Amino acid sequence: MIYIKRKRMIECLASAVYRTAPGDTHGIRFSGAVLAGGRSRRMGFPKSRLIVAGEMLLHRQLRLLALAGASELLISLNSETQELPPEDLCVRTVLDRLADTGPLAGIESLLQASQKPWVTILAVDLPRLNLRFIGELLHRVTPTSGVVPVHGGRLEPLCAVYPKSAAAIATRLLGEGRREASGLASTGVREGWLQPWTIDGPAVETLTNWNYPWDVRDAGAATSDDSRTSQTTA
């Protein structure tokens, strides 16, 4: 019993250190959400089950969000996926309202399900994502706007912080037949409830995603995770 309590205390202290590095998130109350409802047709295998540094990608993303300070954890799934979250984390599963309508449907469902004013959404297939990058993202949230990374003029809507109120806009876009998440992000930037965060250099590599089997085979350093040392740019 003493060992268990001591182990838990050490874990809590480590969590507190990770949450404040590299920057204080100013007490932002946010849900941490992972998009894992894709069919993984190009990969030929559920991407959420791919292994990075000895851990399934889905579990890894959830753990990063928990360490970043998420008040609740959510997973977006389709009706056919049966992914299990880590046993040591409390995670709520959310089914996409619309099937086969791309990541926008998953974002809509997660925003609707969130019980917090902000939702940090991550795609499950970002093996190089680290705690420092998420911390930098959260550090840029203001009382009136979330954040979306951008490089080379291209928005990265699958690693962004959205206001929960954007759920209604996602629903409207889906009703118009839109499926791409970039449509929601570009609307947010245009209307001012999302601010773009320009990244370059190593930060761009942080958002490398896996779509095909050869991406995993050729990844090399992508499977060597160090969430505390990777750098981003302002």
Please list the pLDDT of the chain residue by residue as tens digits (234 residues): 333 333 343 343 334 333 334 344 557 899 999 998 655 444 445 566 576 777 888 899 999 999 999 999 999 887 666 666 677 788 998 888 877 778 899 999 999 999 999 999 999 889 889 999 999 999 999 999 999 999 999 999 999 999 999 999 999 999 999 989 999 999 999 999 999 999 998 898 888 766 545 455 555 433 333 333 333 333
Q: Which CATH number is 2-223's, of 3.40.50.740, 3.10.50.30, 2.70.70.10, 3.90.550.10?
A: 3.90.550.10
Alpha carbon separation from 210 to 46, 102, 173, 224 (Å, rounded)? 11, 16, 27, 15
Query: Domains of the chain: which residue ranges?
Result: 2-223
What the block records as the tokens of 33 is 């959400």
Q: What does the pLDDT read at residue 230? A: 35
Question: Distance between CA 103 and CA 170 in Å, rounded?
Answer: 11
Q: What does the pLDDT read at residue 89? A: 84
* Phi, psi at 80, each rounded to 5°: -100, -15
Q: What does the pLDDT read at residue 234? A: 35
- Helix or strand or coil: residue 85? coil
Question: Distance between CA 218 and CA 82 in Å, rounded?
Answer: 28
Question: Distance between CA 213 and CA 40 in Å, rounded?
Answer: 10
* H or E element at residue 159: strand 159-163
Residue 179 in contact with residue 104, Cβ under 8 Å? yes
Helix 167-175 vs helix 181-191: crossing angle, to nearest 10? 130
Closest CA to 120 of 109, 108, 130, 111: 111
